[in-house]
Structure 1
């Protein structure tokens, strides 16, 4: 795996996992090198505060899953008790103002895992709250923050559904395409658009309005069709560009594209498909 970063890039890689999440590597603030860290499964940095949200590898002695609030510079951490086994957190994300953390919750069963809901972490008070969402499929595509930081969204089937920070349903956007896997920011930096496949065949991407449901087959007011086939996105590069993975030979490459699907540069290359399919990446937006 090779990453091609440049000074002035709006996003940068801060952590990655191998072997379907079994091994985590975190970028060190002093050297920029990546070091294995077996304490956590996932690691999400907020560069404005220098804190990270990390899902802990171990349960407490009384069987609770925890999330750590980590001082990225020193490695010191505060432990937040969250959910009783077998419910566990994944995909930590910071709210836009850095006050809260968000995790998607799954529940382990004898043979598999199923979607459970989401958890909100109050960073100032080291407290976590768990909300079970009983709509089937809610959380399969993970939960993410909306632009204002007062609601979280997820796909439920082909609907984009938003909940408040107390587990209550707020709104549902319909006729907005099909889910696409986004590793980073689902919502654009200004908060006006989110990403989806335009149709189930996944041959094009759509950037759609966050303000309401689109109603026509063309994508609705404010929707932009991006002629680019990708099943896995890094997310928004800036408001007019995306970072997306595409096939390249026997592997993949990450590229920056504009909203017309035109490639401007390569961000990363992964030569082996089998290896890439078991990797996860956490990019972070660099403060302006």
Structure 2
């Protein structure tokens, strides 16, 4: 096992201001053919990515593979990161919480084998991280609940959720108070104790990316219900009513909101996938990256952080 100091050094060099630093126009992603196109004015920046079970963290204007970790997610603002290791230690899963400014890190146990805790999502205030707890079943991995990591206390608390959807993946609400996840073709809101607070039926499952809510918190993005011709839907978080059905767009993946009126999607093409900013009317605004079919088949995932 790597010592804490070595791990901390491995997870360094992303300054808090990196999301709005003077970045080069193109940034290459190691071990892939992907080049991301960036601008200093961008509201989001790729701060980490995964390639299968390999994780890479941004270090200044480049990326470095983080040996022994399968997932790394950077907090809003870029000051901290949370990494999920590839293997159990002493019969437990764990996370590494790293301060990217002080270059210090601490290991925190999460769940006991055979459970795993992964798919980390930061709260907007950077004070907590939610991970989805799963266990292997006959049909694959099934969700059983979530873990909340308290950044200041450096603790983890596991919450078993009764009746949770087997495919649920937990993320935070914009006010950092509750969590949301898919539930039987809709969206369910949970308290941090696992109690059900609200259910929006027949909305479709929450979309992908680090945050399913628009920057203002008003819009909730989902994959539209199967009965709709459209793939991407936006719902009013307060009323639960449909706000927008995005027409003419058939994404392979959704990577989160870009700004209040547009989002990041992965669109298929001829031998290549394009990471594109699309507005809610379905108009493509900008290409952020080209991903070859080979890299896509390796399950590449770009993690965007808001500055």
Into which bin does the TM-score normalised by the smaller protein fall?
A: 0.7 to 0.9
Alignment of 1:121-200 (within 5 A): 121-138=149-166, 140-176=167-203, 178-179=204-205, 181-200=207-226
Q: Which secondary structure does the structure 1 equivalent of 2:87 belong to? A: coil
Shift of 1:76: 2.7
The residue number in structure 2 matching 1:53 is 82
Q: Note the residue ranges of structure 2 that are not aligned, 5 or more in a row.
A: 1-33
The residue number in structure 2 matching 1:34 is 63
Between the aligned partners of 1:24 and 1:113, the Cα distance in structure 2 is 21
Q: Note the residue ranges of structure 1 that are not aligned, 5 or more in a row.
A: none
Shift of 1:41: 1.5
Is residue 241 from structure 1 mapped to residue 262 from structure 2 by the alignment?
A: yes
The residue number in structure 2 matching 1:114 is 142
Shift of 1:82: 1.1
Between the aligned partners of 1:43 and 1:213, the Cα distance in structure 2 is 32
Say which of 296, 300, 305 aligns to 1:276.
296
Alignment of 1:40-79 (within 5 A): 40-48=69-77, 50-61=79-90, 63-73=91-101, 75-79=103-107
Say which of 255, 260, 265 aligns to 2:286.
265
Larger displacement relative to structure 2 (115-124 or 179-188): 179-188
Quickly say closer, same or farther: Cα 1:26–1:49, change in 2 above 3 A.
closer
With normalisation by structure 2, the TM-score equals 0.83
| CA offset digits 1:212-258 (Å, max 9, x no partner) | 433xxxx3xxx112112213111100011111111121121011111
The residue number in structure 2 matching 1:253 is 274
Quickly say closer, same or farther: Cα 1:202–1:80, change in 2 above 3 A.
farther
The residue number in structure 1 matching 2:17 is none
Is residue 96 from structure 1 mapped to residue 124 from structure 2 by the alignment?
A: yes
| CA offset digits 1:34-90 (Å, max 9, x no partner) | 1111232111112436111111233232x1111111122465311111111111111
Between the aligned partners of 1:141 and 1:251, the Cα distance in structure 2 is 29
With normalisation by structure 1, the TM-score equals 0.88
Say which of 38, 47, 56 aligns to 1:14.
47
Between the aligned partners of 2:135 and 2:259, the Cα distance in structure 1 is 35
Say which of 205, 209, 217 aligns to 2:236.
209
C-alpha contact 2:45 2:306 (8 A) present in aligned 1: yes
Q: Which secondary structure does the structure 2 equivalent of 1:182 belong to? A: coil
More helix by share: 2
Q: Which secondary structure does the structure 1 equivalent of 2:295 belong to? A: helix
Shift of 1:137: 2.4
Alignment: residue pair count: 271
Quickly say closer, same or farther: Cα 1:87–1:107, change in 2 above 3 A.
same
| CA offset digits 1:98-123 (Å, max 9, x no partner) | 11111111113477322121110111
CA RMSD of aligned residues (A): 1.9
Is residue 226 from structure 1 mapped to residue 253 from structure 2 by the alignment?
A: no
